[in-house]
Amino acid sequence: MPFELIKSEIIYPGRAFTIRRDHVRLPDGRTTKFDIVEHHGSVVLIPIDEKGNLLFVRQFRHAAGKDLLELPAGTLDEGEVPEACARREVREETGMASDQIQLIGGFYLAPGYSTEYMYVYLATSLRYDPLQADADEFLEVETFPVAEVLKMAERGEIPDAKSLAALFLARPHLEKYLKQ
């Protein structure tokens, strides 16, 4: 049951996202406020090389205070279509271009407070074709066999929600790599 929007105001206009405060009327007539992170959306990639290995990036995440192992991902530029973003991000983050890229699903990252929707792409037929990484990214590419990645996820060694959700959506596409 939708809430009635009474008014909305921008609290913080940021580089990567905007924070707005929505004043809403609830179905029972009460009013409340929600602080919402407006986000253009993003992509997360499942890049698989010719040997059946998944490419991950390891990077320091300031908010978490540690290095995290993650699937490559990135934010859509304003007006950018998700597939174009996916093709750009796989090159920026892994140095590999994908000749076969397929949308396999998507999800809201944190719908309780954010509009960010993540599109999940399977990227195969990889070839070396790097793009310059973003100025604030310091990434190390690491490869793992698909079976090992799934075990790592089950053991809690991949504490990144977008990577876990993308792996879950990709599972039917990964089955053929488990037999290798």
- The three state secondary structure string of the chain is CCCEEEEEEEEEECCCCEEEEEEEECCCCCEEEEEEEECCCEEEEEEECCCCEEEEEEEEECCCCEEEEECCEEECCCCCCHHHHHHHHHHHHHCEEEEEEEEEEEEECCCCCECCEEEEEEEEEEEECCCCCCCCCCCEEEEEEHHHHHHHHHCCCCCCHHHHHHHHHHHHHHHHHHCC
Q: Work out whether strand 42-47 and strand 73-75 pair parallel, antiparallel, or are unpaired.
A: antiparallel
Q: How far is CA 94 from CA 26, 62, 86, 174, in A?
A: 46, 21, 12, 19
The torsion defined by the Cα of 86, 44, 74 and 19, in degrees rounded to 10, comes to 130
Report CA 96 to chain centroid distance, whole Å. 17
pLDDT at 44 over 70: yes
- Residue 147, number of CB atoms within 10 A of its CB: 14
Task: Give pLDDT, residue 123.
Answer: 98
Task: Give pLDDT, residue 180.
Answer: 61
Domain borders along the chain are: 4-38, 42-107+116-178
Which comes out higher in pLDDT, residue 99 or 2? 99
Question: What is the pTM (predicted TM-score) of this model?
Answer: 0.92
42-107+116-178 fold: Nucleoside Triphosphate Pyrophosphohydrolase (3.90.79)
Angular region, 169: left φ>0, alpha ψ -120 to 50, beta rest: alpha
* pLDDT one-digit tens code per residue, 86-138: 999 999 999 999 999 999 999 999 999 999 999 999 999 999 998 877 777 78
Average pLDDT for the chain: 94
State how far the Cα of 172 lies from the Cα of 153, in Å rounded to an integer. 16
